[in-house]
Structure 1
Amino acid sequence: MPKTTDLLRSATCLLAPAIAACASHAQQPGVAETTKFSDPKLPEASGMAVSPTDPSLLWLINDSGCTAELHLEGRDGKPRGTVLVRGAKNIDWEDLAAFRWKGRPWLLVADVGDNEAGRAEVQLYLVPEPAVGGGKEPPQEVEAARTITFRYPDGPRDCESVAVDEADGSILLLSKRDGTPHLYRLPLEGPAEKAELLGLAAEPPVPEGSPFHPFGRQPTAMDLSPDGKTAAVLTYLGVFAIRRGPGESWPQAFARPWETIGSFRLFQAESVCFSADGESLLITSEGVGAPLLSFPLK
């Protein structure tokens, strides 16, 4: 029998065209609402990444209960095409990362959501970026080049925040529902049956003036800057930067207090990525017609 959470998510995907995302956000210097996504196929945007091939394009994925598809959107909010990941399942897709590896552009789809901490194993799909650019729609299907099935060393974890460190050849994962987020690592290559626990992160802050939210501190998305020196983490109330100093490891950087970049009021913010030049952070929310916000980095 389907779990209540699964039924609710499936209903959201079916009814989303009638649900409008709350588009208001905190008015603060430099923050811009650049557009709204007009694609009715994006009811539950849970991950977003700038295309490594064309910085004017964004890849997005939907949350659980929706199809195993990649959605290509313009920075103008208009849909550019949909790509089915052949053979993959959307059990609970929660984040998306774009990166370059061995001279090729890649996407990593993180099927790592686990609201009830009941999944013994979770999956990551490494997908060569479908051909984009020149105004052409991407191909209709793509196949994952590698599926990483893994578990955590300390039991099941709900996770919505995943990023790729290109220089280190590793994948970083930040847990969601722990009081103190746990930071894990997996290699891009080689055996990856169990994630490595790197350490505990600092407790995510609540931006000043934010309304009460029972899950406001929980991390919902993550990305790394193009130069690999800064991590961005999203919660339901704000977006934060973790800057790594010279010779500093990610566990050391995450353990320090996080820098607040900005706050907002969105329906359910679950997607963040760096702009191609690394000078701003882009975030969006679940819901059809969700806004795309741009936060300048200080």
Structure 2
Amino acid sequence: MLVHNDGGDSLDVYVLDGTCAVVTVHSAAVDPYDPEDMALAVDGTVWLADTGDNNGTRATVALLALHADGSSSVYRLAYPDGPRDVEALLLAPDGTPYLVTKEVLGASQVYRPVSALVEDGTVGLAEVGGVEFVLTGTPGGPVGRAGQLMVTGGAVSPDDRWIALRTYTDAYVWPLTGSDVAGALAGEPRRVSLPEAAQGEAISFTGDSAALVVAGEGLGSDVTVVPLPAEAALSSSAVDADGTGSGLLSGDDGPPPVAAAVAAAVVAGVLVWLGGKLVRRRD
């Protein structure tokens, strides 16, 4: 299982064993600003989205690549319409990165580069879609009901069949055809309520793509395996006018958290990567 810090003075990716003990640290001489998510490419490159911008002050954001040979690269990106706060990276099967904004009112925007990335250069981003999130009534997060609307992480399944985005409280899953991430996000998702967490931000899939793996920010947070029900049993994202969910899973509290050591033992054997946030530098 792979995790990374939310902040720090270097690019560090930690490899954890079945007890969540650190086995190896892969580092690079890069000083990140606010890394928020992580994705693993088919060639073994680990991509980190240095895209956090709570104050809306960054002229550019960056994708940081830690290559399998130990080298690293920095690719800068610029939004067409001003700074955005992003905590979710979706890496399409063809290698195209998509960024999904974190919005307090739930109207997230989706961006992708307008051309091939340029090492140590800046490439523009284009808005290619949007995703609307609504209140679900699922408890959790540090900001009350608004946490049900704010995207904090994303993942593409290892079999390339599913996309997942999460808020502080819920996960949303879309079917993916080919590498058309924007097209997939234009469809209707299925919602899975997540275990209550103080600041749930990380999401990934197990190696067989049959379950989600989620975690929160902060030391001592649980790593939880959340089984995906059969496709027909996944809950609808619709909610009632009072903000309570009307989907099949909306009435429960989600699966109980499992101890980090147990969850890690499950996922480590299937080479799951997890874009975790363990230490936060900027609020």
Calculate the TM-score normalised by the size of structure 2. 0.71
Q: Given the alignment, which residue of 116, 123, 126 partners 2:55?
A: 116
- Cα distance, 1:69 vs structure 2: 1.3
Alignment of 1:204 onto 2:133: yes
CA distance in 1, matches of 2:149, 2:156: 20
Equivalent position amino acid for 1:156 in 2: P
TM alignment of 1:51-90, pairs within 5 A: 58-65=1-8, 67-86=10-29, 88-90=30-32
Q: Is the 8 A contact 1:170 1:187 kept in 2?
A: no
Residue aligning to 2:158: 226
Alignment CA distance shift 1:289-1:73 (3 Å): same
Q: Is the 8 A contact 2:114 2:123 kept in 1?
A: no
Name the SS of the counterpart of 1:71 in structure 2.
Answer: strand
CA distance in 2, matches of 1:184, 1:98: 19
- Cα distance, 1:247 vs structure 2: 7.6
Alignment of 1:172 onto 2:98: yes
Equivalent position amino acid for 1:164 in 2: L
Q: Is the 8 A contact 1:70 1:85 kept in 2?
A: no
CA distance in 1, matches of 2:15, 2:207: 16
Q: Is the 8 A contact 2:117 2:123 kept in 1?
A: no
CA distance in 2, matches of 1:248, 1:73: 30
Q: Give the RMSD, CA atoms, in angstroms.
A: 2.3
- Cα distance, 1:250 vs structure 2: 2.6
TM alignment of 1:1-298, pairs within 5 A: 58-65=1-8, 67-86=10-29, 88-100=30-42, 104-129=43-68, 142-144=70-72, 146-166=73-93, 168-177=94-103, 179=105, 180-186=107-113, 189-191=116-118, 193-201=123-131, 203-210=132-139, 212-244=144-176, 249-298=180-229
Pick which of 153-162 and 203-212 moved more.
Answer: 203-212
CA distance in 2, matches of 1:215, 1:236: 5
Name the SS of the counterpart of 1:276 in structure 2.
Answer: coil
Name the SS of the counterpart of 1:295 in structure 2.
Answer: strand
Equivalent position amino acid for 2:139 in 1: S
- Cα distance, 1:214 vs structure 2: 3.0
Residue aligning to 1:6: none
- Cα distance, 1:129 vs structure 2: 3.4
Provide structure 2 residue ranges, at least 5 long, that are not aligned to the other structure. 230-283
CA distance in 2, matches of 1:178, 1:280: 27
Render the CA deviation track for 1:184-235: whole Å, top value 9, x for unaligned.
Answer: 113794556111211111x224444436433331000101012222111111
CA distance in 1, matches of 2:125, 2:178: 23
Name the SS of the counterpart of 1:220 in structure 2.
Answer: strand
Provide structure 1 residue ranges, at least 5 long, that are not aligned to the other structure. 1-57, 131-141
Alignment CA distance shift 1:94-1:243 (3 Å): same
CA distance in 2, matches of 1:197, 1:153: 8
CA distance in 1, matches of 2:65, 2:10: 17
Identity of aligned residues (%): 23
Calculate the TM-score normalised by the size of structure 1. 0.68
